[in-house]
Chain A
Amino acid sequence: MSVLFFNVSLQNKSQENTLATTTNETLNDLVTLISHDINRMGYQVTSSVIKTMDSNKIAFLGDIYDNDSMDTTRVTWEWKNNSFGAVSSTPNPNDYYLVRTGPTSDGNAAGEIQFPVTYFNVNYRNGQGVATSNEYLVREIEIEIMLESGESYSVTSRGDGDRRYYRTVWKRSFFPTNLNKVLY
């Protein structure tokens, strides 16, 4: 009996650690990409920069990559937390696709990349840190992402005990250069 329970406990703990590692790696990839995009927001843009300002969708113009043949392109990050965006490839019912539409290769300005996330939120603030809906006054963009593992793990030593999805979260404020330099 002891050996049996030990084996089950070992499996559950291994599964939890593996799910934690993969979930954090996915978050890191997502954070790297979104940070790169936000920091290039407005680069080489002479007209208005931000095209959509919603709590779960942001669209803006910018020359995202220097080493391609494309000039300024439109980048959209949208969290589709409805039936159209539900992730069907994992058993996690909380997953919805966060879709990035933007340059993915030279010549392809509107490629799509999808990330299953469980929460995505964008806040827009002016130079005094107050929320604003005026795109010309935005100086700070706060982004929050919550991710869960696609598969669940058991938290008890018994085989099919309470099952959980490993969850991790990240939040950061950006002050994009090309939105702030007008005041500098």
Chain B
Amino acid sequence: MSDYSDLLLLLGAMVAFSLLSVTTAVTFQSNSDIVYNSEVEYRAVALAQGIIDEMRWFTDEDFFKSNNTQYYFKNYPETRTISYGSGGNQYTADYIVSGTSRLIASTADVNKYEVLINVKNTSTSKDVSATLQFIKSFKR
């Protein structure tokens, strides 16, 4: 009888240990996913900030008019490949950039446009995206 109880205790311990190791592995994997996704999002935000920074200095209002042939986002979304590292070849990542511009206010003096830039990366298990907004004004 005592042999059977020892065996049952051993089986129970093995089951408990198995559950523990699987749960721990899943938790650590989840933590790693969060870390990697945060990094990718950080880089996506940097790309979006760079695009907005550039658009701040556009002087031609036609770039912001969605029905104009010069509309900046006419051929968007587009994929931008960013290279990192010395020689630009240690690591590359593709980001899908999409953007929209719409007139949100028009007065006698000023036209205001709201620009939304979305940068998405699909290389991780869940897509990571960052959306930034800025307001551009033009004197009429």
Q: B86 on the interface (CB 8 Å rule)?
A: yes
Q: A40 on the interface (CB 8 Å rule)?
A: no
Cβ contact within 8 Å between A171 and B43: yes
Tally of A interface residues using CB under 8 Å: 33
Q: A136 on the interface (CB 8 Å rule)?
A: no
B21-37 contacts to A, CB under 8 A, are: 21, 24-25, 28, 31-32, 35
CB nearest neighbor in A for B51? A173
8 tightest A-B contacts by CB? A173-B50, A172-B46, A175-B53, A13-B28, A169-B84, A20-B35, A180-B57, A172-B50
A171–B51 CA distance with the chains assembled, in angstroms: 12
Shortest distance between the CB of A132 and any CB in chain B (Å):
16
Q: B6 on the interface (CB 8 Å rule)?
A: no
Say whether chain B's binding surface is mostly helix, strand, loop, or mixed.
helix
A174–B47 CA distance with the chains assembled, in angstroms: 10
Pairs A–B under 8 Å by Cβ, sample size 9: A13-B32, A17-B28, A17-B31, A20-B32, A24-B35, A24-B39, A142-B50, A169-B43, A184-B59
| Interchain pairs with CB closer than 8 A, number | 68
Cβ contact within 8 Å between B91 and A169: yes
Task: Among A9, A16, A20, A174, point to the contact of B53 (Cβ < 8 A).
Answer: A174
Cβ contact within 8 Å between B39 and A168: yes
Q: A135 on the interface (CB 8 Å rule)?
A: no
A144–B43 CA distance with the chains assembled, in angstroms: 11
Binary CB contact string for chain B from 39 to 54 against chain A (1 if under 8 A, 0 otherwise):
1001100110110011
A21–B36 CA distance with the chains assembled, in angstroms: 10
Q: B38 on the interface (CB 8 Å rule)?
A: yes
The residue among A16, A24, A169 with the most chain B CB atoms within 10 A of its own CB is A169
Enumerate chain B residues within 8 angstroms of A173, measured Cβ to Cβ.
Answer: 50, 53-54
If A170-B43, A172-B49 are given as contacts, then 13 extra A-B residue pairs at C-beta distance below 8 Å, sorted by A number, are: A6-B24, A17-B28, A17-B32, A24-B38, A24-B42, A28-B42, A121-B86, A139-B57, A144-B84, A146-B90, A170-B42, A174-B53, A175-B53
Cβ contact within 8 Å between A170 and B46: yes
Cβ contact within 8 Å between A172 and B57: no
Task: Name A's B-contacting residues (CB within 8 A).
Answer: 2-3, 6, 9-10, 13-14, 16-17, 20-21, 24, 27-28, 31, 119, 121, 139-140, 142, 144, 146, 168-175, 180, 183-184
Q: A169-B85, A172-B50, A175-B56 are in contact. Are A17 and B35 (CB under 8 A)?
A: yes
Enumerate chain B residues within 8 angstroms of A171, measured Cβ to Cβ.
Answer: 43, 46, 82, 84
Tally of B interface residues using CB under 8 Å: 27
A140–B28 CA distance with the chains assembled, in angstroms: 41
Enumerate chain A residues within 8 angstroms of B82, measured Cβ to Cβ.
Answer: 171
Enumerate chain A residues within 8 angstroms of B21, measured Cβ to Cβ.
Answer: 2, 6
Q: A2-B17, A24-B38, A24-B39 are in contact. Are A184 and B46 (CB under 8 A)?
A: no
CB nearest neighbor in A for B52? A175
